[in-house]
Amino acid sequence: MTRVAIPDLQDAAADTTVSTAYDSIWAQTTQAPVGLETVFLAEDKLYVVLVVVLIIWFGIIFFLYRTDRKIAQLERSLEQDIHETEGPA
């Protein structure tokens, strides 16, 4: 039989990580990057990702602007065609 150690309530109360407030967690000094941060911060790959995302957003905005102008032009030409076909009554 394997015995499992059950922690005492006093041990749990003494553990500061359980009862530490968020303010004190965020007030700590900066820590070294961990995980993917080290990969993206190495050789400025994070900035490459940011630039690519910005290019994509600018492309989407340009596409929407151009499409809006084309639709407005089509609406104007359609309105002119309708007025021309009605003619003087």
Mean pLDDT in each 10-residue stretch from start to end of the chain (89 residues)?
Answer: 56 53 61 75 82 96 98 95 79
Give me the percent of the chain exceeding a pLDDT of 90.
35
DSSP codes, 16-81: HHHH--HHHHHTSPP----THHHHHHGGGHHHHHHHHHHHHHHHHHHHHHHHHHHHHHHHHHHHHH
The pLDDT score that the predictor gives to residue 24 is: 60
Give the separation between CA 16 and CA 84, rounded to whole angstroms: 81
Whether 86 and 80 have beta carbons less than 8 Å apart is answered as no
